[in-house]
Amino acid sequence: LYIVQARPETVQARRDVHILEEFKIKHKGEVLIHGQAVGSKIGIGTLRVIKDVSGLATFKAGEILATEMTDPDWEPIMKLASGIVTNAGGRTCHAAIVARELGIPAIVGTKNATELLKTGTLATVSCAEGDVGFVYKGKATYSVIRHDLRKLPKTRTKIMMNLASPEKAFMDSFIPNAGVGLAREEFIINTFIQIHPLALVNYSSITDARVKAKIDALTLDYQDKAQFFVDKLALGVGRIAAAFYPKDVIVRMSDFKTNEYANLIGGAAYEPQEDNPMIGWRGASRYYDEKYVAGFSLECRAMKKAREVMGLTNIKLMVPFCRTVEEGKSVLAVMSRHGLKRGVKNLEVYVMAEIPSNVLLAKEFAKIFDGFSIGSNDLTQLVLGVDRDSELVAHIYDENNAAVKKMISDLIKTAKAAGRKVGICGQAPSDYPEFAAWLSQEGIDSMSLTPDSVVSVIERVAKAERKK
């Protein structure tokens, strides 16, 4: 073990680790700029744009610092800031690291904050709205709820988390949880890989010089371009699984739609134009299709590496948008050929229950999968026949609709009768606490929620379980 860096301790040792602060923004002004959120707090102050160290002396305590990038020379004024905004950097840059240590909200990677933001403007820095942070004009109103984790009740229902970002996994793991019920691959592919898997598999056949140049820039150290995909995906998933080890981390295999795959570097050459990608060539239907199976094989190799080379056997896998039992069998056969055989080395494979056929034929699906995870977002739109991306019918889209709840209730009963696990990873229990209470009363095994809603849902579920 080597110490490779030593730096002054900031505020972490004085922080009460038993208290979780939850920031909720209420009223906000015009969005001035956005970038990657660091932390989950909100800060208000007057903007101070400083383009280089010569301007450090102008900074006043309580102001919001906006600059290109910071380094250790900036730390004395960073400690005085109510918020930090940078043009460059990611969640592991100097500004992000120091902001976390100081407990100050920061937004990094905005590209042009120093041009768009003006010194003297009253503004609000909000990192309380997920992965994206916003700078709002004026003074926003917000509330802070302080949860004492020592007083948090225990629940029969497992409360898990939905995660996408490996960079936030270790921080989120400190929130009370029973593991990760949905780890999405899409964020890792979009952010850290950026390249269509088939463009890497068929790298030598690419004739578009611009596409090839972009791939070369990202895969500089790789002779085998496909291995780049495998390594990056394994690393991203591995960071999430390591943060929560030995708790279960259920990784959903990629569920991009064709238009989303086409946006990846080199993707346009491999993706068809579909009128309705939401119900088109997505999920399970791609995995065994000869037009895409070579791309899916890279995902399988990555999951095998994370489980067997990294030793993260808490990783479970999940197949999305599986329309038929026969399709499920085809996907499992492809996974098995690539070393991911259900039941071998304790590998469990789940299926998303997000299509009416998954519910109607749940007894048959239960014979080939280890459990179900209800995707209430897609299930709602397909039960009600509503395009969830259409504003015209948005008022009809409702997870609390009796037809949707009957589907969910029926699935829970069938899964239980078959001895299979059943959980939910859709948005509904995060958005509607009463929906979470209803699920608990129905006897669901687990709920997977956005990290910011975990504590409040635990309290609501515990109350519902006491009434049951």
What positions carry a catalytic annotation? 94, 425
Helix (H) or strand (E) holding 406, with range, is helix 402-417
Contact, 70 vs 78, CB < 8 A?
yes
| Joined tokens for residue 461 | 């579920």
| SS3 category, 148 | strand
Q: Tally the C-alpha atoms within 13 A of residue 128's C-alpha that lie toward its C-beta.
A: 25
Q: Which amino acid is at 24?
A: K
Instruction: Kindly report the backbone phi and psi dihedral angles of residue 278, in degrees, each rounded to the nearest multiple of 5, phi listed first.
Output: -55, -35
CB neighbours (10 Å) of residue 59?
Answer: 18
Instruction: Kindly report the backbone phi and psi dihedral angles of residue 30, in degrees, each rounded to the nearest multiple of 5, phi listed first.
Output: -65, 140
Instruction: Tell me whether strands 180-184 and 158-163 are parallel, antiparallel or unpaired.
Output: parallel
| The residue to which tokens 């068929």 are assigned | 202
d(CA 245, CA 238): 10
Q: Where are the alpha helices (DSSP H) in 120-255?
A: 166-172, 186-188, 197-201, 209-218, 225-244
Instruction: Tell me whether strands 42-49 and 64-67 are parallel, antiparallel or unpaired.
Output: parallel
d(CA 169, CA 164): 8
d(CA 60, CA 74): 13
